[in-house]
Amino acid sequence: MLPGSMSPRLLARVVRSASQLTFAKAAEEVTDYWGMWLDAETVRRVAEAAGAAYLAVQDTEVARLGRERPAPPQGPPLLQVSADGAFVPLRHGEWAEVKTLAIGTITHPRNRAGEEEVRTTDLSYFSRLAEAGDFTHQARGEVHRRGVQTAGLVAAVNDGSPWTQGIVDVYRPDAIRILDFPHPLEHLTLASQATFGAGTLAAQTWWRKQAHDLKQEGPAPVLTALRLLPIAGAADPVAAAKAQQETLGYLEARLDELRYPQFLAQGLPIGDGAVESANKLVVEARLKGSGMRWERGNVNPMVALRNALCSNRWAEAWAAISAHLRHQDAQRRRSRWLQRHPPAAPLPADPVPAPANLPLLRSAAKKLRARAKPAPCIVDGHPTKDHPWRQPLSHRPQRQAI
């Protein structure tokens, strides 16, 4: 049995429902299905406790990996690793970024026309509200489980932010780094609108041409077109020049990540839609609802449950959660029993005074033992003078009457 008044099956149903629905809706669902009334506060309490237990299980696994350093399982031939963040509302009007790591296997199915497509399947997620360095360390368990370090080829498709690059530096520095394709297009949009005007046909035509060239030919023709923008004829030449230089600086700093023709030829994805979808599916769908405000300490327990659910690992995760909850309950019971029955303290030993004159004491003890020892009654088979037969009748011991 698990701690509390709920059966294990009911508790599992409550926690799973709370990871999908609001606490109030989960309480209604459980009440309707099980015929057992629960309030939203009870659902919240048990769900957050289960999420905290799963956090503890994952942290224990990360510590074990760091201590034992076992060999990771063999990863697939092609693997995609992408990271991104989504903001969730906290109490008192604060917002905090929940970082998510998405890992999936790259496949090449054929569509109805017989053309080969690039898809990322078997996706799993790891999310935390944490600083970049802590997040990278905490994600080690999921990275190990998916065989990122042993996969044949890893495509790291990200938005180019430093913390996403840091994950790649730690776990797979030889990965092929790909800048998410929509990100350079956003900067090209700003440059075209600043030069030709927002919403104009000229801006749209120029942007479409650069998007096509970037995907089919790479960054070289796009950089040339950027430098040749007619910024002097813009409505605001200063703003147009600024947008031009910022876009040039952004692209030139990431030239190696803009080799889209080569990436496509290798059958690699050029978009991080896997992790952007994870932001919506894993994080925002549950933690960014209308009127929701979260305590900072309750965000990670909930996203941990969301990771297990959205990664199709609920059965495995719940087995670990229930085992941890039982262990916690056993420890609490043991602690309470020890408080009621404290172990008795050992009695202090009586101090033994050191003898003043040990040789005299030994001599006296020897004399006492000699006096206490009775004289022999028979020697060599003959009675001695101390034998009762040699004693007067009055000195012989009398038999007791029976």
Pick from 6-10, 169-173, 355-359 the range whose average pLDDT is largest: 169-173
**Average pLDDT value for residue range 337-358:** 71
Residue 1 pLDDT class (50, 70, 90 cuts): very low
> Is 129 or 333 the better-scoring residue by pLDDT?
129
- Please check the confidence at residue 123 and state whether its pLDDT lies above 60: yes
The length of the chain is 402
pLDDT in tens, 285-317: 999 988 899 999 999 999 999 999 999 999 999
- Please check the confidence at residue 397 and state whether its pLDDT lies above 60: no
Nearest to 205 by CA among 186, 189, 221: 189
| Residue 307 tokens, joined | 């990771």
Q: What crossing angle do the helices spanning 314-340 and 296-310 adopt, rounded to 10°?
A: 140
**DSSP notation for 44-60:** HHHHHHHHHHHHHHHHH
- Please check the confidence at residue 374 and state whether its pLDDT lies above 70: no
- Please check the confidence at residue 402 and state whether its pLDDT lies above 50: no
> Is 134 or 116 the better-scoring residue by pLDDT?
134
Residue 399 pLDDT class (50, 70, 90 cuts): low
Cβ count within 10 A of residue 20: 15
Q: Which residue has the tokens 């309480």?
A: 27
- Please check the confidence at residue 145 and state whether its pLDDT lies above 50: yes
Q: Rounded to whole angstroms, how far apart are CA atoms 68 and 42?
A: 39
Query: Which helix (DSSP H) or strand (DSSP E) does residue 124 occupy?
Result: strand 119-128
Q: Rounded to whole angstroms, how far apart are CA atoms 120 and 274?
A: 7
| Inter-residue contact 88 to 288 (CB < 8 Å) | yes
Q: Which residues contact 375 (CB under 8 A, 6 or more apart)?
A: 384, 386
CA-derived radius of gyration, the chain: 40
| Inter-residue contact 48 to 40 (CB < 8 Å) | no
Q: Rounded to whole angstroms, how far apart are CA atoms 61 and 67?
A: 10
**Average pLDDT value for residue range 14-22:** 94
- Please check the confidence at residue 2 and state whether its pLDDT lies above 60: no
At residue 272, the 3 state secondary structure works out as: coil
**Average pLDDT value for residue range 253-269:** 95
Residue 373 pLDDT class (50, 70, 90 cuts): low
**Average pLDDT value for residue range 137-147:** 97
Q: Rounded to whole angstroms, how far apart are CA atoms 301 and 38?
A: 21
> Is 125 or 8 the better-scoring residue by pLDDT?
125
**Domains of the chain with CATH codes:** 8-69+295-337 (no CATH), 73-180+271-294 (3.30.420), 182-268 (no CATH)
Rounded to the nearest integer, the mean pLDDT of the chain is 89
Alpha carbon 58 to its chain's center: 4
CA-CA distances (angstroms) from residue 146 to 23, 76, 124, 143? 32, 9, 9, 5
